[in-house]
Structure 1
């Protein structure tokens, strides 16, 4: 008669949580799989009977029966008639765990060799550690704060759960699976490309053929691909100041030389920056909704920038990341829509307004450039997840995306008005750019304000804001007094009390000096 594992073992390991969204059956399976893969079970020891384990865990017997059966189907367990369930020995084969070997040696008093000897010195091998770059820092648990004025996060109450679930289910149909399940290698989902070129781009005045579009894992990967393909230590990039830190870090990571392009209430001024632009190979801009000031570049400046590009032979990288978030419902024409000389590489996002975690973006450019971007992308990730591409194509085709944009425009307009009213009432000494779209406000405090210190003090009372110095190429007095307040993830009724709490922190800083 084979011995059995004591049921008390499972009572200790099984943590039943009423708050968990995982079914009891799945929780039991996870517990058993962990025990098998961690080596806690031996092949010759039978697991408790379904009745014994159910009694010990306080669950229905059928729940345990189904859990056992699924693990048999998946190969983790073997069912032996009249003997019970046993661990499949195939699951226990492999190399011994190095940590366990060392632990056993220590327990037996055996000498252990110097564990640092012979190891690589990684600090010397990594020439330019990306972790040393200045990045936007946001608390991982931002949802636990009462007043999250954080940018780039979504509000669950605005997420189109039923619409997205419908599209995901359609993508899981037998007929659709054969379209996205194979390795696409360098290709993208044809239906998504079609939706972008017929439904998304025309709203921005941009028209492109399928071979002039490539899908990316968000705007971030799009910018990385462009920089990796086009930049090296001999490349000069004109960059908005203040500007998007991650884009700045990407270009610097490719050893490009960055020249600051100062920003005013209308973005960069090409005529005033002519001498600087003449030195550039590429110019990175966010004309529709400047990051982080939210300024919109007027039409005359856009045309002047394009003329300057032809005059000085540089290429423009247009990051149109937030163009869809306009309160009027009509996006501004993209810089790319005015381009007649193929001097604009257009970068857009599909998921920024929808769900940032989906990570879907795209690049529009000359077909010879797109061909090379596809080849480069293949070396990194082959292609973005085919299933997500197909589901989002359906989301666009069924009109859900357009409907979502209308809902977001209404919700964000309401929140923007509440934020501006609260800033006027509680922080009259601060200046902000009037909010006409997007999901954030750029605020410049009085000369004595230290925004980093303010952010820390505010966080202690449940208010999350983003210090602005990281957006500037140099940490000067102006950089230290600026901060950004997002409103996409905060409930409307929380905006006024949140600004009031922030104002109290500002007043406390002024008193303390």
Structure 2
């Protein structure tokens, strides 16, 4: 007959599926959760290490080590000749339940009337919650597990946790950044783009979008005339929109932003390295002309050096900031985008007077980005991991671009695109009758995710025949089949359109 107490322990100490944790860690997890959930009350007796090791099929040393660490952490206590028990204060005290005062008005505030700066209705790049279940995800904002430098990045994180390194990142930096990262940005990243800056002219951000927000907060109001590429980068547009500036559309062609005949501006946001979303590279002549216009007409350029490191053909084009001699270019860069967007590390290079203001605004928001992550990434850069990773990514993206181009020519010959010199995406123009938003919905039923082009336009046309194929989240082997499946979706859309017209 099975002992009821044994059944109880077996149910209480089910080890979680946590492959990253060793057995001892998984046992500690199970015990701590039982205590915090109230299933093991203060003073409750636990089974002996011998009994629990037999029950769970673990070594007695594993159970003993788990018990000892939980004693050190105040969850358990040992009583002489009695055994192991849950410590008296192992579970934090919770506030006592209380009734609201008599006469309390239960009507909720009208938040739709109270929110002064809402973005919920603005279109933005998005993907289904279960996007990983789709076999052909041509979408942005993810990392490639095949390319992620796991061991290199892990080495840098482990080194940052060494006792000798704690003093470099554990203090509160207030408005400052980790000096090692600023130095790596200044001496390793920026010179490759032709940019030379003082350490006081650089501020670290929580990704490029944080940079957009800081600049909008400091520089824009309802009277500010902000020029945006059309089509352009939706994340920048939405971050800037919080300050409700006056939008000025600036055309884009196969050579990037059109600088001739610019309207009156206070600021112009551009992505000259690989224009988002068209991937066009702004020519050197246009860059020089744009800087002359900025000086003559007194506007400031905000340059997002988008995917500048992803170059597959030709010589690197110097950043606009490298040509700037009058402090009219604010430069935005990212140190984590090629690794994984979720790491959220970017930076701004700008004149000292503006950087001082941005530091105070950033401090009011988040004080500063994670000092630990800054320190770990400074090591990642200093050890050369960033450059070697960039080379691997570039080789992989070059292969994927070639496969995608070949498949598009074969399966969608009526669709127009220009093979980019770099970046990780292809901007496609479908025949005029295709609306890419409608195509994206049909494509999902074929397992394909694409980025419909309307989100990139301030004023999208209808039908909007443009869409973007992002190649950073899909394996090379899946690309030809993904384009074939997209062609099937186009056929299905055409059949539905034909049925509607004949009806």
The equivalent position to 1:225 in structure 2, one of 214, 219, 222, is 214
CA separation of 1:121 and 1:20: change in aligned 2, threshold 3 A: farther
Counterparts of residues 279-428 of structure 1 (less than 5 Å): 280-328=265-313, 330-428=315-413
Unaligned runs of 5+ in 2: 498-503
2-structure distance, mates of 1:6, 1:236: 73
Deviations 1:355-413 (A, max 9, x none): 22211100001011111111111111111111211121122112221122222222111
Matched, 1:256 2:245: yes
In 1, Cα distance between the equivalents of 2:111 and 2:19?
40
User: Judging changes above 3 Å, is the alpha-carbon distance between structure 1 residues 290 and 15 closer, same or farther for their aligned structure 2 residues?
Assistant: farther
Q: Tell me the residue number matched to 2:233.
A: 244
Give the structure 2 partner of residue 214 of structure 1.
Answer: 203
**1:184 aligned residue:** 173
| SS of equivalent to 1:410 | helix
CA positional deviation for 1:116: 8.5
Q: Is this contact kept in 2: 1:188–1:215, CA < 8 A?
A: yes
Tell me whether 437-446 or 447-456 shows the greater mean CA deviation. 447-456
CA deviation after TM superposition for structure 1 residue 207, in Å: 0.6
On the 8 A contact 1:266/1:296 being kept in 2, the answer is yes
What are the superposed Cα offsets for residues 259-291 of structure 1, whole Å, 9 maximum, x if unpaired?
A: 11121111221113x2x2x1x211111011111
Q: Which residue of 1 aligns with 2:24?
A: 25
Distance 2:486 2:16 in 1: 36
Structure 1 counterpart of 2:69: 70
Q: Corresponding residue for 1:108?
A: none
Q: Which residue does the alignment assign to 2:474?
A: 490
In 1, Cα distance between equivalents of 2:223 and 2:12: 59
Q: SS in structure 1 opposite 2:331?
A: strand
Matched residue, 2:256: 267
| Partner secondary structure for residue 89 of structure 2 | helix
SS at match of 1:380: helix
Q: How far off is 1:71 after superposition?
A: 1.4
1:474 is aligned to 459
Structure 1: distance between partners of 2:108 and 2:102: 12
Q: What CA deviation, in whole Å up to 9, does each residue of 1:419-469 have, x standing for no partner?
A: 111111111111113221000111111112122222222222222211111
Counterparts of 1:445 and 1:116 in 2: how far apart (Å)? 57
Secondary structure at 2:172's aligned position in 1? coil
Following the alignment from structure 1 to structure 2, what is the Cα–Cα distance between the partners of residues 353 and 496?
A: 24
| Cα distance per residue 1:97-122 (max 9 Å; x no partner) | 75xx89xxxxxxxx999998154333
- TM-score using structure 1 length: 0.91
Contact map agreement 1:180 1:390 (CA 8 A) in 2? yes
Partner of 2:143: helix, strand, or coil?
Answer: coil
What's the counterpart of residue 10 of structure 2? 11
* Residue deviations 1:190-245 (CA, integer Å, cap 9, x gap): 12111111111111111101001111111111111111111112212111111111
Residue of structure 2 aligned with 1:122, choices 111, 127, 148:
111
Question: Offset at 1:6?
Answer: 4.4
Q: 1:90 to 1:325 in 2, by over 3 A?
A: same
Deviation at 1:184, TM superposition (A): 1.1
Q: Contact 1:7 / 1:48 at 8 angstroms: preserved in 2?
A: no
Q: Would you say how many aligned residue pairs link Structure 1 and Structure 2?
A: 494
Deviates more, 1:171-180 or 1:500-509: 171-180
Normalised to the residue count of structure 2, the TM-score between the two structures is: 0.92
Deviations 1:287-337 (A, max 9, x none): 111111111111111112111111221111001121111113853210111
Contact 2:143/2:473 (<8 A) preserved = yes
Distance 1:41 1:18, change over 3 A: closer
Q: Is the 8 A contact 1:321 1:352 kept in 2?
A: no
State which drifts further: 259-268 or 245-254: 259-268
CA contact (8 A) 1:329 1:409 kept: no
Is the partner of 1:425 in helix, strand or coil? helix
Describe the SS at the equivalent of 1:132. Answer: coil
Inter-partner Cα distance in structure 1 for 2:289 and 2:214 = 27
**Conserved 8 A contact 1:7-1:52:** no
Query: Are the aligned partners of 1:315 and 1:344 in contact in 2 as well (CA < 8 Å)?
Result: yes
How far did residue 16 of structure 1 move? Answer: 4.3
**2:87 aligned residue:** 88
Q: Given the alignment, which residue of 437, 442, 445 partners 1:460?
A: 445
Q: Distance in 1 between matches of 2:387 and 2:145?
A: 18
- The superposition leaves residues 460-494 of structure 1 with CA deviations (integer Å, 9 ceiling, x where unpaired) of 2222211111111123225x221111112211111
Contact 2:13–2:31 (CA under 8 A) maintained in structure 1 = no
Q: Deviations over 1:43-96 (max 9, x none)?
A: 232123233333443433333222222211111222222222222232335234
